[in-house]
Every structure is written in structure tokens, then in C-alpha cells.
Amino acid sequence: MSTQTQTNLVDLNLSLQDIKAGERIARLYEVYGENLVASTSFGLQAAVMLQLLHDYAPKVPVIFIDTGYLFKETYKYAKQLKAAYPLDYHTYYPAIAPAAQEAKYGKLWEQGEDGNQQYALINKIEPMNRALSELNAQVWISGLRREHSSTRATRSIIEQQRNTVKAYPILDWSDAQVDAFFAINDLPEHPLKAEGYVTMGDWHSTEKPKKEGDKESTRFGGEKYECGLHLDSGNQDFQI
């Protein structure tokens, strides 16, 4: 990253600090325009970001990575949210289908850290890299929040991650702020929230918390929280 780019990001980050989440999105669109994309997982807080995008930057393409291993409730929720927020959705799938993956590799999520890393590369990182390339994205808006996990506690609102600039408009929101936004705007909730889920991902790597408030135990058997999309280490050469 060039010194000029670093300086620009520092200045932009400072300008985003003291404005509201929707205004951050509007500002990002003002600066980056057609080179801006967003992503959604149709997870527990997805309606928040989709509402904000709908209100402040409705032309921004929204990327959805469909691993083929999502909960059936997530697919139903996706259909509901797409109807409520008719944005420019782009669904991307892994280059190798789930059945073919399992025939070739077995159940990667049961094969320890190496298996989980390969699973993330095939099902999340490669499709996202392909989406970013095909949509000519320079800046990717994501709904990460610092309260999600310890790995996100020191993030900046906008930062360089590998070859892409990442922006997090609700990074500094608390769980209480998210709940309040749902209530004030009467947003539909993911069906599995009522069953006690506090995070959402693939069915085989997501579970209810073992104790109240312990989000990090809910993913990958408590061994880690990130799937690879939001870590600087997730840029390995992709091969299948």
C-alpha cells in the first residue's frame, strides 16, 4: 500500500469516526461510487446493514456467498430480506459443489484446522475474491462489529486488508444498539435467533453459546471465530 493511500485512509477514517452509520455509508459511496460493494450473509444482524444500504446507498452491489451449507432458516430469511430490500444482489457459489467436495475431500470441517482452512478457501475466500474481481470492487462494506469477537476489537472503521479496502459502518455499535435498531425500524429477525443462536454461519460450524454472552464458543467448536474472510492470513493461493 502506497504512503498516499495510507494517508488517504487515515484521513477518511478520521472523517467517519463521529458520524452515524448511515452517513458513513453515504460518505463511502460519495468517495468510491461504482468501486464500492457490500456483502451480506443473511445472518442475525443482516437486516440492519440492508436497511442502511437501502436508505443511504441503494445502488451499491450486495454480495452473498452461498456455501451450500447454510441453515434452511437462513435461506428462508434471505428470501424475506430480498423482498423487503430490493437491492442489487449478486450471489456467488464455490467453484466445486458441496457433494463434489465431500466426495473428493470428505467432510473438511471435521478435519481439524487444516481442513477448516481448506473449507474456508473453497467455500468463502475464493468465491469472495471472484466476486470482488468481477464487480471491480476497490472497497468492500461489511457489517463487522467489535463486540462480535476479540479478533475484531482493534479494527478501524476503514482499513486495508490484503488487496481490498474494508469498511465497517457499524463497527462501534453495541449489541444493545443493534437490538434498538431492530425494534425502532420493526426489522424482521432471523428465525434461529428465537432458538438461542447468537451468531450465524454454516450449519456444521455454528452452535448455541455454551454460556451466556460467550459468542466465541459458537463457531468451529469454540476453536476460532473467523472463517477466513476477515483475516489478513486468508490470502493463500486457491487450488482444488
Report, in angstroms and rounded to the nearest whole number, the Rg of the chain calculated over CA atoms. 17
3-state secondary structure of 167: strand
Report the amino acid identity of residue 34. E
Q: How far apart are CA 199 and CA 231, in angstroms?
A: 18
Taken in order 94, 203, 62, 13, the sign of the CA dihedral is negative
Please confirm, yes or no, whether 85 is among the known catalytic residues: no
Q: In the structure grid, which three cell numbers stand for residue 201, read together?
A: 454461519
Q: How far apart are CA 85 and CA 78, in angstroms?
A: 10
Report yes or no: 238 and 128 within 8 Å, Cβ to Cβ.
no
Q: Select from 218, 197, 202, 226 the least CA-distant residue to 113.
A: 226
Element (H, E) at 63: strand 61-65
Out of 46, 60, 141, 227, the active site residue is: 227
The H-assigned helical ranges of the chain are: 3-17, 21-32, 46-56, 72-84, 98-105, 112-120, 126-134, 175-185
Tell me the residue length of the chain.
240
Q: How far apart are CA 98 and CA 136, in angstroms?
A: 27
Residues classed as catalytic? 227
